[in-house]
């Protein structure tokens, strides 16, 4: 998901609609994956994977970000 996608989705609702959300950005992935050099494309892939595969009971957290980094780095080989 991109910021543009999120804005589009939120635009379908009244501005007064209650909601809850957390936003994870490339800087967050770079922080978690700082021991690896991640390209911009790899960072985007981590965010795509954690968004797509998030479990409703866990959401996205540092562990899922870390797992996404590990998977993307493993895919390099």
pTM of the shown model: 0.84
Nearest one of 58, 54, 50, 10 to 26, comparing CA atoms: 50
Q: Which two tokens stand for residue 68?
A: 């996404």
Tens of pLDDT along 2-61?
A: 999 999 999 999 999 999 989 999 999 998 877 888 999 999 999 999 999 998 888 999
Q: Region 51-72: what's the mean pLDDT?
A: 92
Is pLDDT of 77 > 80? no
pLDDT in the model for residue 75: 93
pLDDT in the model for residue 36: 84
């Amino acid at each position: 998901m991109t910021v543009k996608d999120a804005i589009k989705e939120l635009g379908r609702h009244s501005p007064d609609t209650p909601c809850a959300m957390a936003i994870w950005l490339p800087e967050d992935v770079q922080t978690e994956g700082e021991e690896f050099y991640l390209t911009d494309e790899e960072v985007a892939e981590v965010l795509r994977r954690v968004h797509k595969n998030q479990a409703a009971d866990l959401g996205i957290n540092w562990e899922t970000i870390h797992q996404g980094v590990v998977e993307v780095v493993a895919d390099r080989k």
